[in-house]
A and B are shown apart, each in its own frame.
Chain A
Amino acid sequence: MDKLIDSFLSFPSSPNISESELQKQIQNHLSLLNRAPAATLAYQHAGTDVLALLDPSVNSLAYLYVLVARIDLGQKDAMEVVWRQVVTFLETFNPKQVRCAQDIFRRLVEYFFSFATESGKPIIAVRPIKKAILRFNPAKFSFLHPLFLRLCLEAKCYRDAAAIVDIDIVEFPCASTGKVVENARAGEVTYQDVLTYFLYAGMIYMGIKEWRRAADYLTYAIVAPGSACSQIQIDAYKKYILVGLLLDGKSLPIPRSTTSVANRAYKALSKPYESFVVAFKAGNPELLRTEVTQLVDVFRQDNNTGLAIQCLEAFRRMQIIALRDTYVTLSTEEISKKDLEVTGRGGDMGGKEGTEAVILGMIEREEISASLSHSHPNPEQSQTTVHFHNHPVDESCNLAALQVELRRIMTLNKQMKTINKKYGMSREFIQYMVKMAKMSGSSVLAGMAEPDLMDFDYGFSWAEDEPEETIMQDFEDDM
């Protein structure tokens, strides 16, 4: 055993060795660890703890194996004992080493995860896993991602999750090809993982009321490629409809890239939601109320009650915003007469004061630009009038946003160009082109046979000299 510990400590031989040397050492080390029986690894020396001797940031692999061995042997109670060490490990491990032992690492994380959820305190696992994700390249998809989001949803730590989800979006194009490699190592990432990740990410953003981002993530799930439609996609679509209502009062269209199978499934399975949208858009509170009473069970079954209630709250706000287009001034009494309160909570919410409070809140949150005025100092006789201002001219604001958007699109274009190049040189694309050339005639084939791949026109164009407008056009009619 002492010999084993010595070899643990002697790896890696020095902190600054070359990449290839390190890989070789890791492989050797791994074979040693794999040969060692779990009982030996988990064995506690009298007085000295192996884990205390090892440094998780340097001897990550050995640390990992010992931890897993102990948990394997000790079962549930062991987790409680080694909890501290696991947390330290997750926060400080060396990603280069751990990446070579994904399966063991995954087992550790899953133990950790199930312990946290089963003990009813998912929140304690949030921070360590978040740090673990950040230690790897967070823009790469890994099995940690859906796991982590699930944890956050259970613990309601939306902000923590948002930090990760935000990163993912910004850097996803770079991470894309990395994902393949990641899969190779993790070995067990399935489309379900990806879809749940998108769905969870959407739900995280719903939690912090970032409807636009939520819709984006749900879109990713909705347009997922394939020859079938997953239940996860259908759930995503249902939420997508409700999020669309919250976003701007109408249902977002199904993106054109959606597979026809999925498209059909969405249409067939979301009928109740469609009728809800119709009632919502009609702007008739009475209609919406009857619709809701019929749909309560549907929403409850799909676990969308919370979203639906938010839709109903938004209904009144949106109707009030719509009044801006028709009126310059309107008394709150008139507004409350329109009977826009549809949440059915009763009380004074629908009355004059309730309406006034809602409008006040909207003005404070800058949802509308308006002012309230009382006609009389005595609140008993006072008539409150809402004065809707003209659409504020926020030119500087818009221009700044445009600048930001411009920069984002420019980076996106650059990313696309690299991807284009990468894909254009991939084996299957070239095979495809050759096949196409064969079909269309030998003349193209002659050109194709040119070995100089760098000069090759990849066929689909996000090329440099392409004016941006044409690219825009491709996308414009999609949404």
Chain B
Amino acid sequence: MRLVQPRYRAIPYKQIGLGTTDRSRSSGKHRFREDSRDRIKSWQETRYEGTLVVGLPKFDLDTYISGYAGRTRIDRLIHISTHSPPLAIEGLKLAIKLLKQTQDVPRFKFALDILRKLSPEDADAAQDDAWIEKTSRKVVGDTERIEADLKSYKHNLIKESIRIGHEDLGNHLYASGDLVGAFKCYSRMRDFCTTPKHIVDMSIQAIKVCIEQGHYLTVQSHVLKIRNLARAPDEEELLRPKLCVVTGLTQLANGDFRAAARSFLDCPPTLLNTYNEVITANDVATYGGLCALASMERTQLKTEVLDNVEFRNFLELEPRMRKAISFFHTAKYSNCLSILEDSKNDFLLDIHLHKHTNRLFELIRSKGIVQYFIPFSCVTLGSMAQAFATDERTLEKELVMMIGKGALDARIDTKNRLLTAKETNLRAAVHRETLAVAQNYERLARMKLMRMNMIRSGLEVRGSKASTGQVNMGIAHGQNSSWTGNSQKAERNWREFM
């Protein structure tokens, strides 16, 4: 989200002209998490994409954000502010307040800018040059100091000191908003790691930075790195929750909901608040629940989610999610869907979920329809629409789409407003298939024979280099001496068959 030229809309949707000074803010290698978009999108665009959140979410911003720690709080606040008009000002003010306690100058400027665009008259929107000046100087000074330290460590060739020197620099850069630089520093630590513990520490740091940048491939490789190390059981206990959620987040980002659900469900309840700078226990419940709903059968939901002793601890934190899952299990799809619909805004304002929410909802819905239809051979569209709280027309469109994709094995009777299951005749299908295979075989055999015969007759397609005269000569030669002269060519052809 490097700000090149943010076009932003004020709360009363009115375009405000923008200066071109924005470029300076994107200077250097400073990057913010969120995503790789080059600029902030206006709300109009966001709305067009379907990611603008209309209406208020269920949570209270203060309580919500107090669950997290570290950079992710600011990331989340900024995400909320850019996606939800009613919460924008409040979120930004909170973010600015938090940022003032850090040394992340670029992002402070960024947040301030958005706030100025939204409400120019606000007292908090005033440019705090003194703070910026002071902090920037401090950051530069610190960077120089730590780099100098690192150089002297390198001079002395003490591995441990060099490692710590890199880590210090990484931490410092991370705190001042240079994620790319921080990641580089953490990666450099690799050569100076002497014990497995060092590698684990390094990887955990790297994973955190990568998640904030959205580089999930690197996250995956680091997770593998940790997994491959031998560890003491108590250490294992400590690490497992983090690894589980991190894997889950990676799979979620890749859209592999089933695997993500598994990872989140595997997460031991010892996670608690230990990983607040990335994810809270509530999030685990939400992500895990949604992914499970989207990817698992009803019986699986019962055995693997509701009856899962470890995951129950998480679900208790999110009673709505728990209710939704149990409604789905008991086939009360409309109740389940309405609960999810109520919380949709929450999901859309979550930095990890917002991209997948619509897809997840779609999956849950169509899975509900399939599960609903299983016991029936024929059902009226009316009753079905009621069960899914829509009208017949939208339902019909949805059904047509699902049948087209092959998700639902049924046909629609538009005259009698019915959905009927397809009758399959396995015997006939096998016959048809056999016939097709046989015909295919015959066709291919003939084709290969034809090809063989052409080669044998010397009727190969030749490039323009070999003139037709030569071609003919070749044939004539072949006839007279019954192929002896062509043995070399023929040999090549044989090899082609083999």
Name which residue of chain B comes closest to A327, CB basis: B412
B374 within 8 A of partner (CB): no
Partner of B462, one of A173, A228, A329, A423: A228
Q: Are A476 and B440 in contact (CB under 8 A)?
A: yes
Q: Are B432 and A224 in contact (CB under 8 A)?
A: no
B156 within 8 A of partner (CB): no
Q: Are B411 and A327 in contact (CB under 8 A)?
A: yes
Q: Are A230 and B461 in contact (CB under 8 A)?
A: yes
Name which residue of chain B comes closest to A326, CB basis: B403
Among A226, A262, A406, chain B packs the most CB atoms within 10 A around the CB of: A226
Rank and list the top 6 A-B pairs by shortest CB-CB distance, nearest first.
A226-B461, A184-B479, A228-B463, A226-B460, A176-B453, A428-B490
A189 within 8 A of partner (CB): yes
State the Cβ distance, A299 to closest chain B Cβ, in Å. Answer: 25
Q: Which of B426-461 contact A (CB under 8 A)?
A: 427-428, 431-432, 434-435, 437-461
Interface residues on B, range: 35 or more
CB-defined interface of B78-100 with A at 8 Å, one 1/0 digit per residue? 00000000000000000000000
State the Cβ distance, A49 to closest chain B Cβ, in Å. Answer: 38
- Interchain Cβ contacts under 8 Å between A and B, 22 examples: A172-B449, A184-B479, A187-B475, A188-B472, A191-B462, A194-B459, A224-B460, A225-B460, A226-B462, A257-B447, A326-B403, A328-B412, A328-B420, A334-B414, A393-B425, A423-B456, A428-B486, A460-B497, A475-B440, A476-B441, A479-B443, A479-B444
Q: Are A190 and B459 in contact (CB under 8 A)?
A: yes
Q: Are A325 and B456 in contact (CB under 8 A)?
A: no
A194 cross-chain contacts in B, Cβ below 8 A: 454, 459
State the Cβ distance, B261 to closest chain A Cβ, in Å. Answer: 31
Task: Give the interface segment out of A20-28, A344-352, A408-416.
Answer: A408-416
Q: Are A180 and B456 in contact (CB under 8 A)?
A: yes
A167 within 8 A of partner (CB): no
A452 within 8 A of partner (CB): no
A401 within 8 A of partner (CB): yes
B476 within 8 A of partner (CB): yes
Q: Which residues of A contact B (CB under 8 A)?
A: 169, 172-173, 176-177, 179-181, 183-184, 187-191, 194-195, 216, 219-220, 223-230, 233, 255, 257, 259, 262, 325-331, 334, 385, 387-388, 390-391, 393-395, 398-399, 401-402, 405-406, 408-409, 412, 415-416, 419, 423, 426-429, 431-432, 435, 459-460, 471-472, 475-476, 478-479
Chain B contact residues: over half helix, strand or loop, or mixed?
Answer: helix
Q: Cα distance A316–B387 when bound, in Å?
A: 35
B300 within 8 A of partner (CB): no
Q: Which of B228-263 contact A (CB under 8 A)?
A: none
B498 cross-chain contacts in A, Cβ below 8 A: 459-460
Asked if A183 meets B457 with Cβ closer than 8 Å, knowing A225-B451, A228-B463, A398-B432, the reply is yes
Q: Which residues of B contact A (CB under 8 A)?
A: 400, 403-404, 411-416, 418, 420, 423, 425, 427-428, 431-432, 434-435, 437-464, 468, 471-472, 475-476, 478-479, 482-484, 486-487, 490-491, 493-498
B478 cross-chain contacts in A, Cβ below 8 A: 180
A190 cross-chain contacts in B, Cβ below 8 A: 459, 468, 471-472
Q: Are A229 and B445 in contact (CB under 8 A)?
A: no
Q: Are A224 and B494 in contact (CB under 8 A)?
A: no
Q: Are B428 and A326 in contact (CB under 8 A)?
A: no
Among B431, B441, B493, B498, chain A packs the most CB atoms within 10 A around the CB of: B441
Q: Cα distance A312–B369 when bound, in Å?
A: 35
A393 cross-chain contacts in B, Cβ below 8 A: 425, 428
State the Cβ distance, A188 to closest chain B Cβ, in Å. Answer: 7
A429 cross-chain contacts in B, Cβ below 8 A: 494
B434 cross-chain contacts in A, Cβ below 8 A: 402
Q: Are A427 and B484 in contact (CB under 8 A)?
A: yes
Q: Are A385 and B415 in contact (CB under 8 A)?
A: yes
A402 cross-chain contacts in B, Cβ below 8 A: 431, 434-435, 438
